[in-house]
Structure 1
């Protein structure tokens, strides 16, 4: 019964080790995917900065018409020459450009920063899960090795005890056979003695 229980325990540990290997392989694959996604986002970050620099001009084109752009260009050029034109062009034109710049740049940078942080956090979680899985796998392997060693020792002990019992049984059988032979010899002697006694009786009767 102990041997059957140990074999069942070994089979259970082997299935557990197989499942842990599958989980570790899946974690490694997800880790590689996260690293590839992170490198892709990092490669996209420097290329997104020039697009953000051009984005305010596009938004200014959409927000203001052609007349406002021409007025803005003319108002910026003669700022040194004609001082009265500066206060007229400054209030309506200068405040809107910085506002779209801030609103256009901050969401992308925040989103890219958040995605990078999310990926880093996911990578850290995957590393922790991988370390935990490796620790469990190592622990399971140690338990399996210990159990195999104990089972090997128990099997050796069982074989040794069986051999000793078999040797003792064979010795008892040989002793019984020897006693049987001795009994047969004694019976033969008794039969001869009885036969002689019968002969003596017949002679005395005659």
Structure 2
């Protein structure tokens, strides 16, 4: 593309301006593309934040439900039947019988007509206990060890409560894992967004700097062309004044030549007329 000066007739080539304009349009398209990418990353960040908030709400709800279930349903004691510990009941009955016998013997000793020595000796309770305790303790402990029920096997309420606690713990662990994954993804997206924004701002600054440099070059080029145009106009003015002077001198020369030609013609004509008059007089 070129421009033609109507006054001086000089042709100016504007290839630099076209290249700068094309570069400016390319940079504008790149800026639009980066803006669209930044908006998409912002949308993804908002989605991640919503997901994290929902996970936090679910985790808080599960914790509240767990605390409520623990406070409302306390642990119930295991029911103990007579079939589980039969030896203990027999041992208690034997103790009661022996105590009643000792009381009867003490009462009969105070009755009249009987001597104190006639009462049969009652074995002390401590000795009986000491003698029967090892014989009783071993089978009962062995029976309890052999027939001890597994934990939470006889109580369905405690078994269901343990299952609910295990389910709550597993769900809490899964929620924690999901929360950690969401937080890691959120941190990764934030770092990506920060890197993208930094890159975007760097590219924008570079684009602005290059555009300013190109504009400064174009302004310098325009100033140079304007100075050249002014110099050419001055030269044209000088040439026009010189041409006008030449034309004046030419006219003056032509006028002078015309005047000199007329004078010579008059000088030639006068002698011819005198010669004719002399000839006529001689005749």
TM-score range, shorter chain: 0.7 to 0.9
Aligned to 1:32: 60
Q: Does 1:189 align with 2:215?
A: no
Cα distance, 1:103 vs structure 2: 9.7
Residue in structure 2 matched with residue 121 of structure 1 by the alignment: 170
Q: How do residues 1-206 of structure 1 correspond to structure 2 at under 5 angstroms?
A: 1-45=29-73, 47-50=74-77, 53=79, 105-206=154-255
Cα distance, 1:143 vs structure 2: 0.5
C-alpha spacing 1:107/1:143, structure 2 compared with 1 (3 Å): same
Deviations 1:17-39 (A, max 9, x none): 11111111111111111111222
Deviation at 1:104, TM superposition (A): 8.4
Gaps of 5+ in 1: 58-75, 82-97
Aligned in 2, Cα 1:117/1:104: closer, same or farther, shift over 3 Å? closer
Shift in Å, 1:185: 0.6
More helix by share: 1
Q: Which runs of 5+ in 2 are unaligned?
A: 1-28, 83-89, 98-146, 256-283
Change (3 A) 1:196 1:169: same
Distance (Å, rounded) in 2 between the aligned partners of 1:2 and 1:13: 17
Q: How many residues align?
A: 167
The alpha-carbon distance between structure 1 residues 104 and 126, as it changes in their structure 2 partners (threshold 3 A), is: closer
Tell me how far 1:121 sits from its aligned partner.
Answer: 0.3
- If the length of structure 2 is used for normalisation, what is the TM-score? 0.53
Distance 2:60 2:248 in 1: 109
CA RMSD in angstroms, aligned pairs only: 2.8
Partner SS state of residue 53, structure 1: coil
Normalised TM-score (structure 1): 0.72
Task: Give 4+ residue runs of structure 1 displaced > 4 Å after superposition.
Answer: none
Deviation string 1:62-86 (CA, Å, 9 cap, x unpaired) is xxxxxxxxxxxxxx8xx768xxxxx
Q: Distance in 1 between matches of 2:152 and 2:212?
A: 88
| Distance in 2 separating the partners of 1:168 and 1:184 | 24
- Between the aligned partners of 1:11 and 1:22, the Cα distance in structure 2 is 17
CA distance in 1, matches of 2:152, 2:165: 20
Distance 1:103 1:7, change over 3 A: closer
Shift of 1:161: 0.7
**Residues in 2 aligned to 1:113 and 1:36: alpha-carbon distance in whole angstroms:** 17
Shift in CA distance, 104/199, structure 1 to aligned 2, threshold 3 Å: closer
